[in-house]
Every structure is written in C-alpha cells, then in structure tokens.
Structure 1
Amino acid sequence: MSAIVLLVIGLGAMALGYFVYSKFIAEKIFRLDPDFRTPSYEYEDGVDYVPTNRYVLWGHHFTSVAGAAPIVGPAIAVIWGWLPAFLWVILGTIFFAGVHDAGAIWASVRNKARSIGALTGDVVGKRARSLFMIVIFLVLLMVNAVFAVVIAGLMMDFSSAVVPVWGAILVALIIGQLIYRRVLSLPMVSILGVLALYALIGLGPSVPLQMPESVGGMSGNAVWILILFGYATIASLLPVWMLLQPRDYINGLQLFIGLIILYGAILLMNPSMVAPAFNGNVPEGTPSLVPLLFVTIACGAISGFHGLVSSGTTSKQLKKETDVRFVGYFGAIGEGSLALAAILAATAGFASFADWESMYSAFGQGGVTAFVEGGAYIINNGLGLPEATAATLLTVMASLFAGTTMDTGLRLQRYIFQEWGEIYGLDWMKKGVPATLLAVGSCLLLAFGAGGADGSGGLIIWPLFGTTNQLLAGLTLLVITVMLVRLKRPMWYTLAPLCFLLVMTVAALLTQLRGFYNDGNYFLLFLDIVVLIAAVFVSLECAATLKRHRREMAQQQE
C-alpha cells in the first residue's frame, strides 16, 4: 500500500474531527463562555498566571505535551503491524485525546486553574485526591528522569545536534523579549525565530560538539543529565513568558515545518508500506497486541500527562475560555499528526521488508532510531536532502520536544510540591525555590540513586510509564465526567472513552504484573501493585460519587 493513502486518510479524519466533533464538544458539552473571567486575569502575577495569545499558548501546550513520546510509542507499536497503530492514533486523537485535553483545561479554568489532582479533592473526595496525587507524582518523576536520559543519549550519539538544541534556548529568550515588549509583530517574530532555528540546524553538522566519554570520573551521559537538570531548575522558576512560552511556540512552528518537509517528501517519493498491516510473525517475547497497544501508544492517541499540562500550566495562561478548543483539541490534533508521521517513517522508511524486520528484531526496538533513520531515508529520496542533514533535522526535532516536555514537567512537579504544602499546611513548601529543589532532588535521587553513576535510574521504572500514564488519563476523564453530571450535561462523550481506557489499562497492569513476577523483578512488581490499588480505589470513589450525583438529580426531578 502507498504511504500517501494513509497520509491523506489520517490527516483528513483529524481535520474532520477538529472542524466538526470538537465544535460540538465545545458548544454543547463544555459550553465554553467567551465572557468568563479566566484565572490568568484573576490571579495575574507575571510569572505563572499570564494571559497569553492563543497561538503562542497553543505552541507552549502542544510542544509540552508532545515531547518524544508521540514518536517513540508509535514507532515501537508498529511491531504488531501498521494498521492497529494507525487506527488507534486516528480514533484516539479524535474521540479520546482531544476531548481529554480540552476537558482538563476547561475543568481547571472553571476551578481557579487548580491541577487535576487538587481538583479531585473537591469533585470526588480527599481520599481519591491523595491517591491521585501519588499517581501524578510517579508519572512526572518518570517523565523528568527518563527524558533527561533520552536527551543526553541523543546528544552523545548525534554531536551535530548539540549546537541547535542549546542555541534554541538563546533564540527563545530573545523571542520572549520581542513578543512581550511588543518590539515586533508576532508574524515577524515567528519568521525570524524559525529562520534562526534552522540556521542553527544547518550549522550543527559543521560544529559538532562531543562530550568526552568520561569527565571527572563521571560518564559523559551523566554529565549531560546534570547539566539538563541544572538548566531545568532555572527554567522552571523563570516567568513563563520569558522562556517557556517562546521556546515552546517556536518549537511548535519548527515541528510543523518538519512535518511539512516529511509529508512533502512522502508525496514526492510515494513510498510503499514495507511493514505488514498485521504482523503475524512477531519476535519471541513480544506481548499480545491487546491490551499492550493501548499503553504503548499513549501520546499521539491519549495520554494522562496531557491532563497535567492542561491543568498545570496551560490553564493559568488561557486568555479566553473559548480558546480551550483551539489550544486543547487542536493541540491533540498536532500531536496526532506527529504520531502519524512516526508510523509512516517507521514502516515506509525502509528499502525492504528485510530491513524493517532487522530493525524490529525484538519488542521495544525501533523508537526514535526508526523514526530518524526512516524519516531521513524518505526525505533523502523525496527531496534530495542529504541523509545526514535530514537525520540532524529529525534528531533536533525530537530533542527539542523532549526538552520542552522536561521543562514543563519539572515546573508541574514543583506545582505538586506546592499543592502538597497547601494541603498539609507546610508554608515553606509553598514557595517556588524549595518546591523546585524538592522536585529536582527527587528526580536526581531516582536517576543516580537507582541507576548509579550513569544517571539512568529513571529507565528502571520506565516499563510502568505506559500503564501509569494511561491510568492517569482515565482518572482525569472520570473527574471531568463527574463535573458534567453535576452540571447536568451529557456525560457519554467522556464516559465511553474512560471506560475503554480503564479496562485496557487495568488489563495491561495485570499482564505486566505476571511478567514482573515471572522475571523475578519484585521492585516493579511492588510498584505495579501500588498503581493497581490506586486505580481501583480512585475508580470506586469516582463511581460512588457519580452514582450519588445521578441519584440526587433523579430525586430533584421527581
């Protein structure tokens, strides 16, 4: 089959989802009000609460939720064949992710921009809130610790990406000043920023910077991890308009240009899907497609981490409530487009089926490597761009997204500690610097305490990320559903996705539980049990709350 067919069907379906389905959800279910006073105005402080142009905010939201996950997950899941991954990405984006992301922003905005974890206490109950906050903390801990390893690994393997990755920070700082001091119009700033970013990408291969294998007794990988956390500490404390917003915005533009390049190359090259639609000859040890597909592909279909960004940073910057549809739902569409590109690159970016099969010789292989190599192959054959340059372009794209997600993730982890300070009356923990140091300290403790001198400790608990993350998405949909019931609005548009997601996630947790036990991995076995217990208790709490509200509504109607 031609990759062009999947490209047209995929993008066409997502466009239909945005222009038709999201409009229905915004107007009939969430009933977005253009006159509602958002928390960005009510609590404006110039640091976290900043009314923001919806295009800039879309860039922040999209690149924060995207990261490397919509590349890694789909590029691993095609081991089962391209059709299951394609269907889950398209249907998940339209009916799951868009509603989930927009709903989390709406729920937070309507409740003083509180995080979805803190909001659970008001909507469901204090016990559910405590368990929910534990799940949230685990997800953020995994994301921050692992994405540092991913970025460090990319910079060790692709020295040509170092200058563009770090140069993008300087570009973002300049753009932030130009936008918020109104020196230049947004379109002009956008053009200059993109040109500067691509100039750095072009410069990268000419000025490769390679970290030594060992620095002061530490591996080069570990040094990069420390540098990344040092940077993220500063970034999480800066006002959002100074670095976070402009960096995310320019990265969002860069992604769309990268997607246009990749999609354009597909149209010109017209590659065939060398991978099978369904792979009936998966490598030994590959888990079953159901339920593992639905936790392997999270970002790009639906992801609980999105709810944390939506209710953590995005809701504090929303200028008008009606911007929820563009920022939240269209942000999910952008991520679905990236996941679609990852599927096409990882299945049509090989010269033959044998080459593809060699890449996917075991479950867990593929990922960013398949995306970069497959995408570079397509761009080289479609546009004539040298494969090394194309590989640098795609590597920088993946690194920048992972970096922006890490920036936002650490800020969100700081919010979690501050919310714990508020909940438990710990005044010192409410302050930015102590909360940030606790967030960074917990990540470093996992990275180096569990992983040793190379700082890769986050990878130890990463096998649980997919299930924990999807559990978080299901619980977020539960909170949104309870809010809709309380407001006497239709709930099936959130209830149906959450039921499907909870069933698949619990099934995946049980599957992993058996695998960890058989492998004798008792640490992950223990964590799996903790997450499973939290899932059951929060689900029961939410179900009881839902039942109570529906009973009260029925009594009022009598």
Structure 2
Amino acid sequence: MSAILLMVLGLGGMAAGYFFYSRFIADRICRFDPDFITPAHEFEDGVDYVPTNKFVLWGHHFTSVAGAAPIVGPAIAVIWGWLPAFLWVVFGTIFFAGVHDSGAIWASVRNRALSVGSLTGHVVGKRARSIFMIVIFLVLLMVNAVFGVVIAGLLIDNPGSVVPIWGAIAVALVIGQLIYRFKFNLALVSLFGVMALYALIYIGPSMPVALPETVAGFSNKAAWILILFAYAAIASLLPVWVLLQPRDYINGLQLFVGLILLYSAVLIASPELVAPMINQQVPEGAPPLIPLLFVTIACGAISGFHGLVASGTTSKQLNKETDARFVGYFGAIGEGALALAAIIAACAGFASLGDWQAVYSAFGQGGVQAFVDGGATILNQGVGIDAAVSGTMLTVMAALFAGTTMDTGLRLQRYIFQEFGEIYGIRWLGRPLPATLMAVACCVLLAFGAGGADGSGGLLIWPLFGTTNQLLAGLTLLVISVMLVRLNRPVWVTLIPLVFLLLMTLAALLIQLNEFYQKEDWFLLSLDLIVLVAAILVTLECASAFKKPSSPLEGEEL
C-alpha cells in the first residue's frame, strides 16, 4: 500500500476536525468571548504575562507540547502494525487532543491563568488539588530529567547537529528583539529565522562538535546534561518574549517546513508501507495492543503534559480568548501531523519487510532513530536532499523540540514550586529564583542520584511516564467536565474521551504493576501504586464535585 493514501486520509481528517469540530467546541461548548479580558492583559508584567500574537503563541504552545514524544511514541507503537497507530493518532487528535488542549487553555484563562493543579483546588477541592499536584510534579520531573538524557545522546551521536541546535538559541534571541523591541514585520522576521535555521542545518555536518570523553571529571554525556540544565534554568527565568516565545515560534516554523518537505517527498517518491497493517508476529515479550497502545502514543493523540503547558504558560500569554481555538486545537493538529509523519517514516522508510523486522525485533525498538533513518531515506528519494543533510535536519528537528519542551517543563516546574510556596505560606519559595533552583535540584538529584555518574537517572522512572501522563490528561478532562456541568453546557465532548482514557490508563497501570512485581522492582512498584491511588482519589473527588454548587470565585470567573 502506498504511503500517499495514509498521508491524504490522515491530514484530510485532521483538517476536517479543525474546520468543523473545533468550531463547534469554540462556539457551543467553551463559547469563547472576544471581549473577555484575558490574564495576559489583566496581569501583564512583561515576564510571564505577555499578550502575544496568536501565530507566535501557537509556535510556543505547539513546540512546547510536541517535544520528541510525537516522534518516539508512534515510531515505537508501529510494532503492532501501522493501522492501530494511524487510527489512534488521527481520531485521538480530532476528538481527544484538540478538545483537551483548547479546553485547558479556556479553563485556565477563565480562572486567572491558574495551572491545572491550582485550578483543581478552585473547581473541585483542596484535597483533589494536593493529590493532583503530586501527579503533576512526577510528570514534570520525568520529562525534564529524561529529555536532558535524550538531547545529550543526540548531541553525542550526531556531532553535526551541535551547531544548529545551539545556534537556534542565538537565532531566537535575535528574533525576540526584532519582534518586541524593534517591531519588525512578523513575516520578514519569520523568513529570516527559517533561513538562518536551515543554513545552520546545512553547515552543521561540515562543522561537527564533540566534547572530550571526560570534562572536569564528568563523562561527556553527564557534561552535556549539566550544560542543558544550566541553560534551561536561565531560560526559565528570562522574560518569555526574550527567548521562550521566539525560540518556540521559529522552531514551529522550522518543523512545518520540514513536514512540508517530508510530505512532498512522500508524494514524489510514493514509498510503499513495508510494515504490516496488523502485525501478527509481534516479538515475544511485547505487551498487549490494548491498552498499551493508548499510553505508548501520548503526544500525537492526547497527552496530559499539554494541559500543563496550556494552563501554565500559554494561558498567561493569550491575547484574546478566541485565539484559544487556533493555539490549542490547531496546536494539537500540528502535533498529529508530526506523529503521522513519524508513522510513515517508520513504516515506509525501509527497503523491505525484513529490514523493518530487523529494527523492530523487540518492544521499545525504533523510536527517534527509525524516524531519522526512514525519513532521511524518503527525503533522499523524493526531493533529492543528501542523506547526511536529511539525517541532520531530522535529528535537529527532534532535538530542538525536546529542548523547547525541556525549557517549558522547567519553567512549569518553577511555577509548581511557586504555587507550593503560595499554598503553604513559604514566602521564599514563591520567588522565581529559589523556585527555579529547587526545580533544577530535583532534576539533577534524580539524574545523578539515581543514575550515577552518567546522569541517566531519569530513565529509571521513565517506564511510568506513559501511564502517569495519560492519567493527567484524563484528570484534566475531569476538571473541564466539572466546569461544563456547572455552566449547564454539553459535557459529552469531554466525558466520552475521559472515560475511555481513564479505563485504558488504569488497565495499563495494573498491567505494569504486575510486571514490576514479577521483576521485583519494588521502587517502580511503589511509584505505580502511588500514581494509581492518586488517580482513583482525584476521580472520586471530581465525581463528588459534580453535585457541589459553584463557589463565589468560580461563579465570578466562569
């Protein structure tokens, strides 16, 4: 079967979802008000609260939520065959992710840009908030600690990507000044940024950069991880318009150019899907398709991390409430398009079924490397881009998205510590610098305390990320559903996705619980139980909240 058919059906379905279903959500469910004064205007401070052009904000939101996950998850999940992954990505994007992301922005904007954790306290109750914050903290800790390892590995394995990855930061700093300080035309600035990024990608392979095997007593991998955390800490303290916004925006444009090139190559080369539609020869030891598909592919279908970004940074920058449709729902469409590209690259970028099976010989195989290798082959065959340059371009794409997610993730973790300070009356923790240092300290402690000298400790708890992240998505939908019920608006648009998601995720948690028990991994078993109990308690709290009257704050803000 030609990959063109998969591309047309997938992109066509997502486009229809945006033009029709997202309008229904915006007009009939959330009822976005163009005259509503958003927190970006009400609390404007030039640092975190900054009214932002919707195209720039879309770039920030999209690249922050994307990371490497919409590449890794689908490129691993195709081990069950391309059809299950394709269906979950397309329908998950339309009916799950778009509703979740735009709904989380709306819920936060209507409540003074509170994060979804704090919002739970106002909408549901203090007990639910405390439990929810534990789940949120674990998700952010996993994302920040692991993405540091992922980016460090990409920098070591692909020295030609070092210049474009770090050069993108310099480009973003220039763009931020041009847009906000000098008020340059956005289209011209965008063109300059994209050209600069692709120039860096082109010269990257000819200027490889590699750290020595040891740096100040650390391995090169550990050194890169420390450098990345130091950078992320600085980035999380800078005003959003200086680095975070322009970096995310230009990375979003770079991704779309990359996707256009990749999809154009598919049209020209018309590669065949060599992977099976349904894999009847799944490697021994692979987990069952149901429910594990729905936690293996998170970003690209639906992801709880999106709710953290939507209510953590995006809601503080929304210029008009009506922009939430473009920023939130279309942001989900962009990520779905990336996940679809990952599926095509991982299933049509190999010469034969045998070559594909050699890569997917065990569960967990594939991932970023399958996307890079398969995508580079398609680009070379379709549009004639040199394989080395194609590989660098796709590697940089994955690393830049992982980096932007890490930037936003650490800023969000800083917000969490600041909220802890406000909730429990710890004044010093409510300030940005101490909160940032606490966030970095937790990540470094996990990375090096649990992982030893190479800093890979984040990988220790990564097996729990998929289930914990999807539980977070379900719980975010629960909070939105409570708000809709109290406003007497149709709730089925969130209730159906959340019931499905909670059932699949709780089943996956129970399967993992048994696996950890069989392996006698008591640490992960304990964490799994904590997450499972937290999910059940928050669900019960939300269920009881459906019957509670709205508090004065909610009545005013909603």
In the alignment, the residues of structure 1 paired with residue 330 and residue 133 of structure 2 have an alpha-carbon distance, to the nearest angstrom, of 27
* Alignment-derived partner of residue 223 in structure 2: 223
1:304 aligns with 2:307: no
Q: 2: CA distance between counterparts of 1:139 and 1:194?
A: 32
Alignment partners' CA distance in 1, 2:368 and 2:491: 37
- Which ranges of structure 2 fall in alignment gaps of 5 or more residues? 551-558
SS in 2 for 1:259: helix
1:462-518 residue CA offsets vs partner (Å, 9 max, x unmatched): 000000000000000000000001111110000000000000000000000000000
Rounded Cα–Cα distance in structure 1 between residues aligned with 2:336 and 2:547 = 34
Q: Which amino acid aligns with 1:181?
A: R
**8 A contact 1:485–1:549 mirrored in 2:** no
Q: Give how far 1:217 is off.
A: 2.4
User: CA shift at 1:541, angstroms?
Assistant: 0.5
Aligned partners of 1:422, 1:218: CA distance in 2, in Å?
Answer: 37
| Aligned position for 1:554 | none
Q: 1:432-474 CA distances to partner (integer Å, 9 max, x unpaired)?
A: 0000000000000000000000000000000000000000000
What is the alpha-carbon distance in structure 2 between the residues aligned to residue 431 and residue 344 of structure 1? 46
What secondary structure is seen at the aligned counterpart in 1 of 2:275?
A: coil
* Residue aligned with 1:302, SS: coil
Whole-Å separation in 2 of the counterparts to 1:150 and 1:302: 21
Does structure 1 residue 233 correspond to structure 2 residue 240? no
Q: Structure 1 CA distance, aligned partners of 2:95 and 2:48?
A: 30
How far, CA to CA, are the matches of 2:548 and 2:144 in structure 1? Answer: 38
Deviation at 1:385, TM superposition (A): 1.2
1:29 alignment counterpart: 29
Distance in 1, matches of 2:94 and 2:182, equals 36
Give the whole-Å Cα distance in 1 for the aligned partners of 2:177 and 2:524: 46
The SS at the match of 1:35 is coil
Q: Provide the rounded CA distance (Å) in 2 between the counterparts of 1:384 and 1:403.
A: 29
Aligned match of 2:432: 432
**Deviation at residue 544 of structure 1 after TM alignment:** 1.1
1:213 aligns with 2:237: no
The alignment's TM-score, normalised by the length of structure 1, stands at: 0.98
Distance 1:262 1:372 in 2: 11
Please tell me the residue identity of whatever aligns with 1:110. Answer: R
State the identity %. Answer: 74
Distance in 2 between residues matched to 1:336 and 1:267, nearest whole Å: 19
| Distance in 2 between residues matched to 1:123 and 1:548, nearest whole Å | 10
Matched residues in 2 for 1:488 and 1:228: separation? Answer: 47
What's the CA shift for 1:366?
0.3
| Separation of aligned partners in 2, 1:216 and 1:425 | 40
Report the Cα offset of residue 184 of structure 1: 1.7
Which AA in structure 1 matches 2:492?
W
Match runs of 1:375-386 below 5 Å:
375-386=375-386
1:357 aligns with 2:360: no
Structure 2 counterpart of 1:360, which letter?
Y
Map of 1:454 onto structure 2: 454
Query: Is the partner of 1:240 in helix, strand or coil?
Result: coil
Distance in structure 2 (CA, Å) of the matches to 1:90 and 1:450: 37
Deviations 1:3-26 (A, max 9, x none): 000000000000000000000000
| Residue in 2 that maps onto 1:103 | 103
Structure 1 residue 546: deviation in Å? Answer: 1.4
* CA–CA separation in structure 2 for the residues paired with 1:71 and 1:416: 27
Matches within 5 A, 1:312-461: 312-461=312-461
1:468-483 superposed matches below 5 A = 468-483=468-483
Runs (4+) of structure 1 exceeding 6 A deviation are none
Report the CA distance between 1:34 and its aligned residue.
0.1
Counterpart AA for 1:246: P
Matched, 1:535 2:530: no
Deviation at 1:182, TM superposition (A): 3.4
State the shift of 1:547 in Å.
3.8
Structure 2: how far apart are the matches of 1:448 and 1:319?
41
Residue 410 of structure 1 aligns to a residue in which SS? Answer: helix
Are residues 1:195 and 2:190 paired?
Answer: no
The 2-side partners of 1:211 and 1:356 are apart by: 33
Q: Secondary structure at the match of 2:546?
A: helix
Following superposition, the deviation at residue 181 of structure 1 comes to 1.7
2:267 is matched with which residue? 267
Q: In the aligned structure 2, how far is the partner of 1:231 from the partner of 1:384?
A: 36
**Which residue of 1 is the match for residue 120 of structure 2?**
120
Partner of 2:167: 167
Q: What is the distance in 1 between the residues matched to 2:422 and 2:113?
A: 15
In structure 1, the partner of 2:555 is none
Letter in 2 for 1:368: V
Q: Distance in 1 between matches of 2:510 and 2:387?
A: 43
Offset of 1:383 from its aligned partner? 1.2
The alignment yields a C-alpha RMSD, in angstroms, of 0.8
Instruction: Structure 1: state its 5+ residue gaps.
Output: 551-558
Partner amino acid, structure 2, of 1:540: L
Q: Distance between the aligned counterparts of 1:547 and 1:463, measured in 2?
A: 36
Whole-Å separation in 2 of the counterparts to 1:547 and 1:342: 43
CA distance in 1, matches of 2:69, 2:537: 28
User: What secondary structure does 1:132 align onto?
Assistant: helix
Deviation, 1:542, is 0.5
Report what 1:494 is aligned to.
494
Letter matched to residue 258 of structure 2? G
Supply the distance in 2 between the matched residues of 1:278 and 1:505 (Cα, whole angstroms): 22
